[in-house]
C-alpha cells in the first residue's frame, strides 16, 4: 500500500521542532536523517496506522504538532529504541514519541495502560495485577515448598523476601505470581546454582512499569522510588531488574 502524502498547511508554531533541534547531536543534519530510513527498517511498529519513525520525525520537523499529538501510532511504539541504535546520528525518536503521548489528556490514553498504571499505584507491591505484598509472599512460599519437595536436588533452594543485606534486589513480572507462578522458578534455580545472594522486597517487587508507557512522569517516578527505597532499606547492592 502506498504511503499517503503529508499535507502541509500554513505556518505553525511547533514545540516538536524545538525538541528535534535539541535531540540532534552536534553536526547533525535533519535533512540527511530523513533520507536514510534506517530507523524505520528496524522498527516493529513501522506501517501501523500508516506511520513509521522516519515519517514521524519528518512531521515533527515540518511543525505538524496536531497530527503528531493525535495519531494513535504513538501508542504502538514499544520504546525499544532500535531506531536510535540504527540512526547514524543517534536521534532519540522515542523521546519525541513520549512527548506526543504526554500531550494526550490522561483520561483519553489507552485504557489498558491507564488501568494498569492506576492499579499499580493502589498497592505497595506496585503490581499492575493488584497483588498486595501479603499475597505475593504467600505464593512465593507455597511454590518454593512445592518445588523443594518435588525436586530433591533443589531441597535447599531459597526464595527470600525482605532479606537484609542481600547483594541483589530482584523484581518480578507481577503477572507470574497470579497466573503463572511456576514461571518464577527457573530464575530461582539459576540463582541457587550460582550461589547468588539475593532477595525480593515485599514492597516494590513488581517489575513492570505501565506508568512509563503511559507517559505519566509523576506516577512512573513514584513506582520506581518504591522499589529503590525498599532496596536501600534492605541494604542491597545491586538492583537486578528482570523487566
pLDDT for residue 92:
86
Residues forming beta bridges with residue 184, ordered by sequence position: none
Nearest CA-CA partner of 98 in 116, 85, 113, 111: 113
Whole-model pTM: value is 0.82
Which pLDDT tens digits describe the chain residue by residue (243 residues)? Answer: 455 554 544 455 566 777 777 777 776 667 667 678 899 998 999 999 999 999 998 888 888 888 888 999 999 999 999 999 998 888 888 988 998 999 899 999 999 999 999 999 999 999 999 999 999 999 999 999 999 999 999 999 999 999 999 999 999 999 999 999 999 999 999 999 999 999 999 999 999 999 999 999 999 999 999 999 999 999 999 999 887
Helix (H) or strand (E) holding 238: strand 238-240
> Within a domain: residue 5?
no
The predicted structure's pLDDT at residue 62: 81
SS3 9: coil
| Three cell numbers, residue 229 | 527505597
Does 200 lie in the same domain as 88? no
Q: Where a domain ends, among 88, 104, 120? A: 104
List phi, psi (to 5°) of 238: -135, 130
Question: Does residue 102 sit in helix, strand or coil?
Answer: helix
Residue 206's pLDDT is 95
Rounded Cα distance, 225 and 228, in Å = 5
- For residue 25, the 8-state DSSP code is P
Q: Which residues constitute the domain of residue 21? A: 15-104
Same domain (yes/no): 187, 203: yes
Distance CA 121, CA 118 (A): 5
Task: Please report whether residue 42 resides in a domain.
Answer: yes
CATH number at residue 80: 1.10.1060.10
Q: What is the DSSP letter of 79?
A: -
CA–CA separation, 206 and 36 (whole Å): 40
Q: What's the domain count of the chain?
A: 2
User: According to the model, what pLDDT value does residue 4 have?
Assistant: 56
Amino acid at each position: 500500500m502506498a504511503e499517503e502524502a503529508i499535507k502541509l498547511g500554513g505556518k505553525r508554531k511547533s514545540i516538536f521542532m524545538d525538541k528535534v533541534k535539541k535531540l540532534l547531536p552536534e553536526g547533525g543534519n535533519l535533512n540527511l536523517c530523513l533520507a536514510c530510513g534506517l530507523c524505520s527498517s528496524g522498527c516493529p511498529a513501522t506501517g501501523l496506522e500508516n506511520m513509521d519513525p522516519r515519517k514521524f520525525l519528518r512531521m515533527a520537523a515540518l511543525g505538524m504538532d496536531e497530527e503528531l499529538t493525535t495519531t494513535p501510532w504513538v501508542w504502538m511504539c514499544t520504546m525499544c529504541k532500535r531506531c536510535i541504535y540504527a540512526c547514524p546520528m543517534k536521534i532519540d525518536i522515542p523521546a519525541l514519541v513520549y512527548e506526543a503521548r504526554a500531550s494526550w489528556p490522561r483520561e483519553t490514553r489507552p485504557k489498558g495502560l491507564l488501568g494498569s498504571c492506576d492499579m499499580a499505584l493502589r498497592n505497595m507491591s506496585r503490581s499492575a495485577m493488584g497483588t498486595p505484598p501479603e499475597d505475593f509472599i504467600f505464593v512465593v512460599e507455597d511454590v518454593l515448598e512445592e518445588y523443594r519437595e518435588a525436586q530433591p536436588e533443589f531441597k535447599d533452594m531459597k526464595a527470600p523476601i525482605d532479606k537484609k543485606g542481600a547483594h541483589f534486589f530482584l523484581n518480578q513480572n507481577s503477572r507470574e505470581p497470579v497466573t503463572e507462578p511456576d514461571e518464577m522458578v527457573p530464575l530461582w534455580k539459576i540463582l541457587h546454582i550460582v550461589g547468588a545472594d539475593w532477595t525480593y522486597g515485599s514492597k516494590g517487587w513488581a517489575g513492570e512499569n505501565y506508568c512509563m508507557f503511559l507517559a505519566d512522569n509523576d506516577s512512573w517516578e513514584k513506582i520506581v522510588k518504591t522499589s529503590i527505597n525498599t532496596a536501600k532499606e534492605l541494604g542491597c547492592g545491586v538492583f537486578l531488574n528482570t523487566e
